[in-house]
Chains A and B, each alone.
Chain A
Amino acid sequence: MDTLDLARWQFAITTVYHFFFVPVTISLVAITAGLQTAWYRTGKEKYLRLTKFYGKLFLINIAMGVVTGLVQEFQFGMNWSDYSRFVGDVFGAPLALEGLLAFFLESTFIGLWMFGWDRLPKLVHLGCIWMVVLGTQLSAYFILAANSWMQNPVGFRVNPERGRAELTDLWAVLTNKVVLVTYPHTIFAAFMVGGAFVAGVALWHLLRRPDTDRAVFRSALKIGASIVLVASAGVAISGDLQGKVMTEVQPMKMAAAEALYETEKPASFSAFTIGTLDGSKEIFSIKVPYLLSFLATGHFDGEVKGINSLQDAYEQLYGPGSYKPNIPLTYWTFRLMIGVGMASAAVALWLLWTTRRGRAPARWLIWLAAPLPLLPLVANTFGWIFTETGRQPWLVFGLLPTASGVSPGTTSGEVITSLVGFTALYGVLAVVETKLLLRTIRAGLAGTDAPPPDTEPEQPDKPLSFAY
């Protein structure tokens, strides 16, 4: 493997890993904030206990999100220095805005929320967690705007003297039609994960410890499962809009999603195919007629361009070379994203149905407690693998090939060192984090039923004593 492949593997591993924590963080902080708001408004103790319980799980999770995010900020320069030189003028701006508007907000107000329970007035303390929510949303928007620029570069010009892309319109970058559909899609998808996490944890407690805090966990189960359902509807609608934008700006990615080699009108969507891996020859497939046309164009008889004709067109435009992404990868990740995501929505619906009006869930459902949050999480991963590999061979679509972005001076030894180092470290941390998470989940609401803090903060001259 050369430096390019190694750098790509490193980016893939560190980014996919980072994004295990991102959707949980985005959604869990908002759900925690919602629970705390419910406690503030109603004064019901169950909401306070749930706030503390899920808040603790959120904190365990965000610690990993923060530290793995640091790597993201550094590795553009470390492994992709020519990319950084070429796009920094444009791509750097949303990243800097993310730091300035989002990261400061998140990190500062998490500290205030975590340590401020008995030092801040109730309403101010509640405001702190909502500031964290705002921070995570801004962070998501800016980083998705940066990523969307790579999918569909806008608001720039290429300066031939400097040999780089230069920003001409920041507003255009921030209102890129790709980010406008990607942001809701990503956020709804994150809420599927968080909702499923809340529901999965609650389900486990209801079945394993049916006599402990039953009513509280019933509420949590319903809240979580309802969030999954609402979010999955949001994911479907935003995903549908996204498909149309993608067909317009990255038709090759849409063709690769279906492994559609020849242009079809109308085009059908295959739910499953057996054949050659790259989909060029099929032996058996389950097809839904007209569906791809609808996904891509919004019309049941719309034309969907095939890979071969797009390849010819791109050769005309960009010169000789292959402009096809890894077709088996895009084909299957696209299907798995949709399939696994739909499965998790189905599980959530079933849970709501089976626990309706005070009914107790069946014992065997405990086997769904762990898969429930993992399904939408994996669907998130498949979605990202699809959209990022579907952009290949481009790093910035139509502007910069991936091969041209890698650091020219970095040796494969250096990249191997960091690749192996990060992978090993991340592996160990995954074990540590998962164990701690499971331990905290098992401990349940014990320790969260401390009397609610006074409405007034402590005496200002009283010394602080808090356990970290």
Chain B
Amino acid sequence: MELTTVWFVAIATLWTGYFVLEGFDFGVGMLYRVLGRNEPERRAAISTIGPVWDGNEVWLIMAGAATFAAFPEWYATLFSGFYLPLFAILVGLILRGVALEYRGKRDEPVWRSRMDAMIVVGSLLPALLWGVAFGNIVRGVPLDADHEYVGSFGTLLNPFALLGGLTFVAVFVTHGAIFLALRTTDDLRVRANRLATRTGALGAVLAIAFLAWAQALRGDAVSVGIAIAAVVAFAGGLVANVLRREGWAFAGTTFAIGLSVVSLFVALFPDVMPSTLDPASTLTAVEAASSAYTLKVMTIITAIFMPLVLLYQGWTYWVFRQRVVVA
């Protein structure tokens, strides 16, 4: 495989990892306030992501930094073009990160409500806007010959991208609810399980519409196949959820999110930022890529250290594998 392709796969993998992992902690963040009926329940719900959310978010930093290093043109066009949505995502992630860490530090209802509001908004806004952003990447945006974004903020709020945003929210809420059912006990666990069935039905409808539209825009046989597999995984996850098989349900939404993201990237390749203006203005992976030397060095270092990262991140999940009880 060409190193450019290797790095396209690497970037796709990082985003896939990010959405699978942060997907459930976004979901928990959006849900715990309503799902937990009192403070001990809410604290238990939020504690399920306590030790891991920060590590999950590093997948985003890594996706950004790896894009910067391996595809500088892609990083430049994407981040400057999607300026305002990214600004809003950052604001959301800042509010959320601070609130997650500070919530338990003061034992006062007013303080906790404020932190709860920050966590809910900080989970909802990025989830929605990442969907909008990925919708736009796949659909294409107006780029000029220098690969500069020439649209406005309004251009990004097209129906397809907005559908993408809603899909991300509904699917992450479901993923999060299933995670909560898997990681808590008693009432909370039952309620999370029931909620997942309801949001899952909505998520399935949205996901099918979004993936079908995305494939209609720029899919090929392979990406269509992967998208279908994603839908099947999601359906399987929901069935398992109804049967109260929480582990299988979580595996289902995990694969559904992972395969969906992969299908979008497969549909995108070999482009990285399609232009809706002149097709010649489309930025391709090869055009956006760094030099062969940079890609080679990065490949070697990543091949050595990424398995290590997966090992210790996996170990964290193992250490905190027990269900959280409401105390």
Contacts and interface: CB of A to CB of B under 8 A. Distances in A.
Contacts of B216: none
B309 interface: yes
A108 B55 contact: yes
A249 B98 CA distance: 40
B293 A465 contact: no
Q: Which of B73, B78, B322, B326 has the most CB of A within 10 A?
A: B322
Contacts of A418: 83-84, 87
Interface string B71-98: 1110111111101101100110111011
Overall SS of chain B's interface: helix
How many chain B residues sit at the interface, stated as a range, is 35 or more
Interface string B26-58: 000000000000000001101100111011011
B54 A168 contact: no
Q: Which interface residue of B60, B72, B150, B325 has the most chain A CB atoms within 10 A? A: B72
A461 B104 CA distance: 26
Contacts of B106: 436, 439
A320 interface: no
B80 A463 contact: no
B104 A467 contact: yes
Interface in A365-418: 407-410, 414, 417-418
A70 B93 contact: yes
Interface stretch (B164-172, B198-206, B231-239, B297-305): B297-305
Contacts of B97: 63, 66-67, 70
Interface residues of A, number: 79
B55 A111 contact: yes
B306 A100 contact: yes
Nearest to A171: B297
B68 A66 contact: no
Contacts of A119: 319-320
Interface in A81-131: 81-82, 84-85, 87-93, 95-101, 103-105, 107-112, 114-116, 119-120
Contacts of B312: 104-105, 108-109
A168 B294 CA distance: 8
Nearest to A91: B68
Contacts of A159: 291
A114 B98 contact: no
Contacts of B51: 111-112, 114-116
B54 A66 contact: yes
Contacts of A463: 185, 322-325
A67 B94 contact: yes
A429 B185 contact: no
Nearest to B322: A464
A95 B70 CA distance: 11
Contacts of A168: 293
Contact of A409 (B47, B91, B95, B150): B150
B98 A432 contact: yes
B43 A467 contact: yes
B149 interface: yes
Contact of B79 (A74, A101, A115, A425): A74
Contacts of A464: 47, 320, 322-325
B290 interface: yes
B62 interface: yes
B69 A468 contact: no
Contact of A96 (B44, B58, B62, B319): B62
A64 B97 CA distance: 8
Nearest to B312: A108
Interface string B131-153: 00000000000000010111000
Contact of B87 (A78, A100, A111, A407): A78
A59 B80 CA distance: 32
Given A78-B79, A81-B77, A104-B309, A63 B98 contact: yes
Of B61, B293, B319, most A-chain CB atoms within 10 Å: B61
30 contacts: A60-B101, A64-B98, A67-B98, A70-B57, A70-B93, A81-B80, A84-B76, A92-B75, A92-B294, A95-B69, A104-B58, A105-B309, A105-B312, A107-B54, A108-B55, A108-B313, A110-B54, A112-B316, A114-B50, A119-B319, A410-B80, A410-B83, A418-B84, A425-B91, A425-B94, A436-B102, A462-B322, A464-B324, A467-B327, A468-B103
Give the 6 A-B residue pairs with the shortest CB-CB distance, closest first.
A88-B72, A77-B79, A92-B69, A111-B51, A63-B101, A81-B80
Given A166-B290, A467-B47, 18 more contacts: A68-B94, A77-B79, A88-B71, A89-B72, A89-B290, A96-B66, A96-B298, A99-B61, A100-B309, A110-B54, A111-B52, A409-B80, A422-B90, A464-B47, A464-B324, A464-B325, A468-B47, A468-B50
